[in-house]
Structure 1
């Protein structure tokens, strides 16, 4: 059997009439390599509980005969379940009118940028932070403005306020706990940013369940016209494959994204399996405490070995400092440990995995101490 090249494979991207602001960009994505210890994508390493799986199978079986019909368009049942969870988890009473759900928090952020960004508008972020923010901005023709973090990788609030005053951005991203550094921005600093913001502030809390501190949801009543809190089920909920993200905000923000969302954007099965996962949140969130304990253990050992580590309130650690982080990343891979080079000079990020995976990482880290500057 002979294989042939795909149709028109010799056509290059540079030959297509691509939008100018997308030329030279790279798609988002971590290396997908098959090695014994995969610690590069911040997934929860624990699979869903058997009880969750059993109910999920029953639910999908029951719904299979309805798949010839469109899903419930506005996901009201799922949004009600999410509202109940947020009310319990944050202590802030919300209803389904305060909740919006989509295919991962990335789609949530994209919809917000479609509604509040666009040509002639700007989004400000504090870098290094989540690499999808500038990519989503580019995809919606929103100019992304980067304000550097301080030397400790925390938001320099004075520099942040100066950047807001200078640029008057339409959208401000605050990621807490921050990815890739793992640090938390206090509610006091978020309030100062909100007070200065001329537009909306999106607080990205993708890793909130790994932090014992308060959620920015506590500020929603004070800032109903400007604050949106974005969250996901991908991390703490063992649900990365389920692709379910959501935001919490004043009902007017839900009305806004309804203007730009695609019809029937959440499938019947996506809504059903996410609702099942929420019903089993006790089983799922029990893994958060295990991961937090492992995070603290790994962090302490890295410090003992002489690494610089940013104190983390997430399920990953940002550490260094290396003369050549790309070369060190390769040496970890040579030790069967895949971690993440996020492009920050001198630093790498490792996801907290199962205890045996963390042991393998620490053994490799001990072997590579000579790479520390």
Structure 2
């Protein structure tokens, strides 16, 4: 379509409502945080530290080596990358993992989408505990899987009794557990996760996108006990300074890998994506050194917010969930007016800030100090 044709279509007044969209997608909004250019961008949970120069040099050399092969399709099953991921997971979690247990895709979102394509679909349900990762309901809708919500308690933790009751009543095909939870940052204890797996009639997907920022044990420690029920999803976007690299993966019994191979697109991971991820894994010790720095900054931010009188949810991630406000979006705008971009995730009374560089956190805390008048007491 030419530019003129595109302009004519826009000028004709045609909107999404005029298209034969699936009914369950009507009225929905696309995922996305505001992309604004401000001095302190603390709204997307990225790692603020750039990759090390050693990693950059290694990547440039690797891309140069592979550039002449780009006329060929990539290695379809990404076996070497999966071997490297398995070695990393084994070292990081203490659970011995083979490459047959690991699957990789373009970010953990694609991993979750593939799992829903394989185990969800029309007539099937997935249970989540909101507020949690906002892509879960979107991915469910995209795969025609009915999303069921069991709300978290007033402290934003999973209400175990309510969760077990919901599982017993709804009998979901899939259960999502996000730990550390996004947007709240809290961790669900391993013993609670085990009770939920025991109760679930189908599979349980534990989303561990931020687990490197936590001292809590990974759910991979439960894989041997629940080989047909448990999948642990992870990502390189956060801890690895690798959000632009788009690499996620899951760890599970090899049968789950066979399952998603039935629905994955052929050659879904490019030569360059696989190479970049392998380079990042080679430099994981340098990269993960930033995790410790961010944990120190996180604790500093939490401590100061509490001193200022804010209510803060305990966080084991690289972000902090805080409030309370009568109108959280008004407060979000006040932060933006002070050149600090944080995230309004749509939870009444609360906002989320990513932990950034020390000077970015200073700017955030300075703004927070100026905005204490917006704090409302817990009712």
- TM, length-normalised to structure 2: 0.97
Instruction: List alignment gaps of at least 5 residues for structure 1.
Output: none
* SS of 2:353 mapped into structure 1: strand
Matches within 5 A, 1:1-373: 6-9=7-10, 10-373=13-376
> Cα offset for 1:246?
0.0
Q: For each residue in 1:248-280, what CA deviation from the matched residue of structure 2 results, as whole angstroms up to 9, or x when unmatched?
A: 000000000000000000000000000000000
The whole-number CA distance in structure 2 between the counterparts of 1:207 and 1:65 is 36
The whole-number CA distance in structure 1 between the counterparts of 2:8 and 2:120 is 37
The whole-number CA distance in structure 2 between the counterparts of 1:139 and 1:171 is 15
The whole-number CA distance in structure 2 between the counterparts of 1:371 and 1:353 is 23
The whole-number CA distance in structure 2 between the counterparts of 1:171 and 1:154 is 19
* SS of 1:228 mapped into structure 2: strand
The whole-number CA distance in structure 2 between the counterparts of 1:11 and 1:202 is 39
The whole-number CA distance in structure 2 between the counterparts of 1:142 and 1:112 is 11
> Cα offset for 1:213?
1.1
* SS of 1:183 mapped into structure 2: coil
The whole-number CA distance in structure 1 between the counterparts of 2:344 and 2:85 is 33
Q: For each residue in 1:108-140, what CA deviation from the matched residue of structure 2 results, as whole angstroms up to 9, or x when unmatched?
A: 000000000000000000010000000000000
The whole-number CA distance in structure 2 between the counterparts of 1:6 and 1:365 is 44
* SS of 1:303 mapped into structure 2: helix
The whole-number CA distance in structure 1 between the counterparts of 2:144 and 2:285 is 41
* SS of 2:43 mapped into structure 1: coil
The whole-number CA distance in structure 1 between the counterparts of 2:125 and 2:173 is 5
The whole-number CA distance in structure 2 between the counterparts of 1:120 and 1:83 is 34
Instruction: List alignment gaps of at least 5 residues for structure 2.
Output: none
* SS of 1:53 mapped into structure 2: helix
The whole-number CA distance in structure 2 between the counterparts of 1:7 and 1:263 is 36
The whole-number CA distance in structure 1 between the counterparts of 2:170 and 2:263 is 26
> Cα offset for 1:6?
2.6
* SS of 2:44 mapped into structure 1: coil
The whole-number CA distance in structure 1 between the counterparts of 2:159 and 2:215 is 22
- TM, length-normalised to structure 1: 0.99
> Cα offset for 1:7?
4.5
RMSD: 0.8
Q: For each residue in 1:150-190, what CA deviation from the matched residue of structure 2 results, as whole angstroms up to 9, or x when unmatched?
A: 11101010100000000000000000000000000011000
The whole-number CA distance in structure 2 between the counterparts of 1:94 and 1:30 is 35
The whole-number CA distance in structure 2 between the counterparts of 1:6 and 1:100 is 42
* SS of 2:321 mapped into structure 1: strand
The whole-number CA distance in structure 1 between the counterparts of 2:301 and 2:351 is 14
> Cα offset for 1:11?
1.7
> Cα offset for 1:238?
0.1
> Cα offset for 1:88?
0.1
